[in-house]
């Protein structure tokens, strides 16, 4: 089992009536009314300190990702964060998991191959290369990419990046979206033939096929928890089986929100408002922005219109105890969190690469460190050896880090 600490770098101090006053947390929230650059500098430093604390405390990896024009998670460049993390963890067996630099918005996309090459060199071969499609809000709304071209552009960029890492000689790329007469990548990554590739998704079936056909790790980045993900993840494992591939749990990653305290009651007292802040404010986006016309192919669009998946729950109407009960969030004492993670996520979804969102919404720095500390000392040791006994090899993890980490020490 590999367990990473994931961070969104959210705005932690949005006004109480944010979701009533503003139409969206993404694309349109006015910076001048809502943010202060000096305070935001503090957020970035807290984020780095929290991820470094997780790395030292015993997590197997640290994850950052890319989003634009929003207060939900604003690391427009995950690699700026990743480079600090890589340098500062050179003495630790920790993976730098970039979840990552968005392909369709990076022009030319060999920039992704180059920067990931740098990170792999700086970290001594500890990079996990997330190659995300990017959300419609980031790619279509904030960065102006035509919805109908979003996926095709991603696929071309993906092939180009993989080739740039591996081609022994200079090559020309005469693509539909990108034309480069002489691709000659400097630097190349340490890991050969290339760093492990993770493809994050939000449950779209076409992404299952894409990931399986390329034998990469599919990561379901869900905020609805393991219970709600069962059908979806079973769909992924069905595609894996259909392609005649083994059910290696490390083919899958899953993101789960977690909050640990000494007791269940104390967890509620400490974390309830931060969990509600996350679901009420950080996910405050007009639902139709998630699927602008043309972003889905015609077949998927028709399928979605014929069989609307169960009506998306309005998370603004749910409170802490609902989120807990429905499994959106796993929170409570170390024993509660251990058991629920094991049952609802690891075993139920057959997942080898677990990402834990350790900082949720408005959660302050000190409380985040406490969450990380209790997770590392009280939860991780019980999960670490899962799958080891079955003899699965994590081909989607840096080779030099594949053995279980044996040094969970907590936050010093």
Partner 1 sequence: MTSPEARTVAVWRKLVPFRVHVKGQGPAVVFFHGPWGVTWDAFLDALARRFTVYAPEHPGTTPGEPETIQHVQSLWDLVLCYDELLDQLGVSTASFVGHSFGAMVACEVAALRPSRVGKLALLDPIGFWRDDAPVVNWTLVAPAELPKWVFHDPDGAAAKKLFAILEDREEAALARTRLSWAMGCADKFVWPIPDKGLKRRIHRIEATPTLLMWGEHDRLVPLVYEQEFRRHLTRARVEIVKRAGHAPHLEQAAEAATVVAQFLAG
The residues of the shown chain that bind partner 1, judged by CB under 8 A, are 140-141, 144-149, 176, 286, 288-289, 292-295, 298, 301-302, 305-306
Q: Which is nearer to partner 1, 38 or 288 (CB)?
A: 288
- 3-class SS of residue 328: coil
Q: Which is nearer to partner 1, 124 or 292 (CB)?
A: 292
Shortest spacing between CB 169 and partner 1, in angstroms = 30
Shortest spacing between CB 100 and partner 1, in angstroms = 24
Shortest spacing between CB 67 and partner 1, in angstroms = 18
Separation CA 71–CA 13 (nearest Å): 10
Shortest spacing between CB 146 and partner 1, in angstroms = 4
Phi/psi at 6 (5° precision): -110, 140
User: Is the Cα torsion angle 247, 248, 249, 251 positive or negative in sign?
Assistant: negative
Q: Which is nearer to partner 1, 112 or 145 (CB)?
A: 145
Separation CA 101–CA 132 (nearest Å): 7
Q: Which residue has the tokens 């629920």?
A: 340
Q: Which is nearer to partner 1, 143 or 392 (CB)?
A: 143
Q: How many residues are given for the chain?
A: 412
Sequential DSSP letters for 144-169:
---GGGHHHHHHHHHHHHHHHHH-SS
Q: Which is nearer to partner 1, 147 or 408 (CB)?
A: 147
Shortest spacing between CB 302 and partner 1, in angstroms = 5
Shortest spacing between CB 147 and partner 1, in angstroms = 6
Q: Which is nearer to partner 1, 178 or 289 (CB)?
A: 289
The residues that bridge with 259 in the sheet, in sequence order, are: 331
Q: Which is nearer to partner 1, 15 or 286 (CB)?
A: 286
Separation CA 21–CA 410 (nearest Å): 40
Shortest spacing between CB 306 and partner 1, in angstroms = 5
User: Is the Cα torsion angle 303, 304, 305, 310 positive or negative in sign?
Assistant: positive
- Closest to 96 in 3D by CA, of 369, 397, 393: 397
- 3-class SS of residue 279: helix
Q: What share of the chain is helix, strand, coil (3-state, %, to 5)?
A: 45, 15, 40
Regarding beta strands 95-98 and 127-130, do their DSSP bridges make them parallel or antiparallel, or are they unpaired?
A: parallel
Separation CA 128–CA 145 (nearest Å): 26
Regarding beta strands 197-201 and 127-130, do their DSSP bridges make them parallel or antiparallel, or are they unpaired?
A: parallel
Q: Which is nearer to partner 1, 125 or 147 (CB)?
A: 147
Q: Which is nearer to partner 1, 156 or 270 (CB)?
A: 156
Residues 6+ apart with CB under 8 A from 337: 258, 259, 260, 330, 331, 375, 379
Sequential DSSP letters for 359-396:
S-TT--HHHHHHHHHHIIIIIHHHHTTTTTTTT---TT
Separation CA 150–CA 296 (nearest Å): 9
Q: Which is nearer to partner 1, 144 or 193 (CB)?
A: 144
Shortest spacing between CB 281 and partner 1, in angstroms = 20
Shortest spacing between CB 138 and partner 1, in angstroms = 13
Shortest spacing between CB 156 and partner 1, in angstroms = 13
Shortest spacing between CB 173 and partner 1, in angstroms = 17
Q: Which is nearer to partner 1, 140 or 371 (CB)?
A: 140
């Amino acid at each position: 089992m590999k367990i990473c600490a994931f961070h969104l770098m959210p705005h932690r101090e949005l006004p109480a009536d944010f979701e009533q006053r503003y139409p969206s947390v993404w694309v349109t929230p006015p910076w001048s009314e809502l943010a202060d650059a000096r305070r935001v500098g503090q957020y970035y430093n807290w984020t780095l300190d929290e991820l470094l604390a997780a790395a030292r405390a015993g997590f197997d990896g640290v994850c950052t990702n890319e989003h634009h024009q929003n207060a939900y998670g604003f690391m427009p460049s995950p690699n700026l964060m990743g480079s600090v993390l890589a340098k500062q963890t050179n003495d630790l067996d920790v993976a730098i998991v970039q979840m990552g630099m968005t392909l369709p918005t990076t022009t030319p996309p060999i920039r992704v191959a180059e920067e990931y090459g740098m990170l792999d060199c700086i970290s001594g071969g500890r990079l996990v290369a997330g190659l995300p499609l990017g959300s419609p809000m980031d790619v279509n709304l904030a960065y102006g990419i035509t919805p109908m071209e979003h996926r095709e552009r991603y696929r071309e960029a993906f092939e180009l990046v993989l080739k740039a890492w591996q081609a022994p000689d200079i090559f020309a790329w005469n693509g539909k979206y990108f034309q480069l007469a002489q691709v000659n990548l400097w630097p190349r990554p340490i890991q050969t033939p290339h760093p492990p590739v993770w493809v994050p998704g939000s449950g779209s079936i076409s992404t299952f096929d894409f990931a399986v056909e390329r034998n990469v790790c599919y990561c379901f980045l869900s905020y609805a928890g393991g219970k709600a993900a069962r059908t979806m993840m079973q769909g992924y494992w069905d595609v894996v089986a259909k392609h005649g591939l083994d059910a290696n749990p490390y083919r899958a990653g899953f993101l789960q929100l977690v909050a640990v305290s000494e007791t269940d009651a104390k967890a509620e007292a400490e974390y309830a408002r931060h969990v509600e802040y996350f679901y009420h404010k950080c996910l405050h986006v007009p639902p139709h922005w998630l699927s602008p016309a043309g972003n889905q192919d015609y077949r998927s669009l028709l399928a979605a219109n014929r069989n609307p998946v169960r009506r998306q729950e309005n998370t603004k109407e749910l409170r802490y105890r609902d989120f807990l009960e429905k499994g959106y969030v796993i929170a409570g004492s170390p024993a509660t969190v251990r058991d629920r993670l094991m049952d609802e996520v690891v075993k139920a979804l057959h997942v080898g690469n677990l990402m834990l969102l350790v900082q949720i919404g408005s959660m302050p720095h000190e409380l985040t460190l406490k969450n990380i500390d209790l997770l590392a000392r009280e939860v991780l040791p019980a999960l670490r050896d899962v799958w080891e006994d079955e003899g699965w090899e994590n081909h989607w993890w840096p080779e030099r880090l594949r053995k279980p980490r044996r040094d969970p020490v907590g936050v010093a």
